[in-house]
Amino acid sequence: MGRRSEGRKAWGVLRGDVDSFRIRLRRAETIEEHVRVSVLYKQFFAGELEVLCSQPEFWRKVTILYSGGDDFAVCGAWDALIPLAREMQRLFHRFTEENLKELPGLEGKTISMAVALAADTSATLAWVYEDAGTRLERAKDLDKDCISVLGRVLEWRYLADAAELKETLARMVADFGPTSQLLSELSGFYRKGGQTWSHGTEQRFDRPWRFQRRLNRVLVGAKDREVQKLRAHLANEMMGRGAAQVKLRPAGLVALEWARLTTEG
């Protein structure tokens, strides 16, 4: 499955878990309601996950490890797992709106997920599966209705932003070959985790406008509107403009890593 991925030939595990599912069950007023809600969730994961994984964009690249009453796990090519997670979240949101709208509260109506990638060829399925579980637990401790992906925890709405920016970055690399180095340079420009920029750590990037000048040089003569949108997007992503406070929102960092993996090789 890893060999079928685009870019880096790697595989991983996606795990998902309904937020506050037990609280939702405890709120059932009767045994009948408890059984009805439990069956609804079980049927959703058993049915929707199998149908989704059989779709053309997924069926040769992923395999279901299990689907339970409130959680699931899928193994597959790394580049299929992130789109699969987005689609599962969309389907789950629609499911709760249609079947649980009369129930008060958000408990059991959102889902969190985590993607873990095999670090190298020696990684075992058991290890990557456990790593995905650890990442999922940490994500749920930080927030709900989110995904841990490529080293960051994002709300689902920001994963869509990362996907859009990734497409633009990947297109830049394809259209302007030398720009592939730009992904690594941009990643190094920002401290991971939104930490404070340490002056002198990377001398060539000790001022944000230096990167802007480099980006302008790389894109000289570029007419593509999407490329110009990227320039504006990156400018908007900058949280602080001073040498001591340059940050990039987590969605931007996910997009950079996503694009790097997609264009690798």
Question: Hey, where are the domains in the chain?
Answer: 2-149, 161-263
> What is the mean pLDDT, run by run of 10 residues, along the chain of 265 residues?
89 96 86 88 92 93 93 96 96 92 87 95 94 96 92 91 84 64 64 38 47 60 61 56 49 86 82
User: For residue 203, what pLDDT is reported?
Assistant: 38
Average pLDDT score, the chain: 80
User: For residue 197, what pLDDT is reported?
Assistant: 32
User: For residue 211, what pLDDT is reported?
Assistant: 57
User: For residue 186, what pLDDT is reported?
Assistant: 67
Q: What is the pLDDT of residues 175-232, one digit of tens each?
A: 666 555 666 666 665 544 343 333 333 334 445 556 566 666 655 555 566 566 666 6
Sheet holding 71-77, edge to edge: 62-67, 71-77, 11-18, 111-117, 146-149, 152-155
For the domain made up of 2-149, the CATH class stated in words is alpha beta
- Report yes or no: 114 and 99 within 8 Å, Cβ to Cβ: no
Alpha-carbon distance of 229 to 209, in angstroms, equals 18
pTM of the model: 0.81
CA–centroid distance for 186 within its chain? 19
Written as one letter, the residue type at 159 is L
The CB-based long-range contact list for 236-243 (8 Å cut-off, 24+ gap) reads 238/208, 239/194, 240/197, 241/208, 243/197, 243/199, 243/206, 243/207, 243/208
Counting residues of the chain whose pLDDT is more than 70, the rounded percentage is 71
